[in-house]
Amino acid sequence: MPVVLKPAQRKLTAIIEPSEAVYVAFCPELDLATEGDTPAAAVDDLIEMALDYAEQYMAEYDRFSQSPNRAAHAAYIQAIHANPTPSGVRALFEG
């Protein structure tokens, strides 16, 4: 089993895999997954999904940050919230 050690920075990972005529994009830090016709389209949709999730998370911050399944997302959500634009989120993936 491969092991990847990521720095404790607030960077996001996009894992892209082909799957039955589409590409699936997965962000393990935020537990988000989506698909697109091309790898780029899948990443673009993942970025939009991360923005939507960050907006929802911030609207219900007290609840989400205390949730066992979502508390670990807080640092990443704050990084997205600092620059809540597609280019800002893309930079977190490209880091």
What is the C-alpha R_g of the chain? Answer: 13
Closest among 51, 21, 24, 26 to 35, alpha carbons compared: 24
Give the pTM: 0.87
pLDDT in tens, 26-41: 999 999 999 999 999 9
Helix, strand, coil percent content, the chain, rounded in steps of 5: 50, 15, 35
- Residue ranges and CATH numbers for the domains of the chain are 15-94 (3.30.160.620)
Q: 51-87: per-residue pLDDT in tens?
A: 999 999 999 999 999 999 999 999 999 999 999 999 9
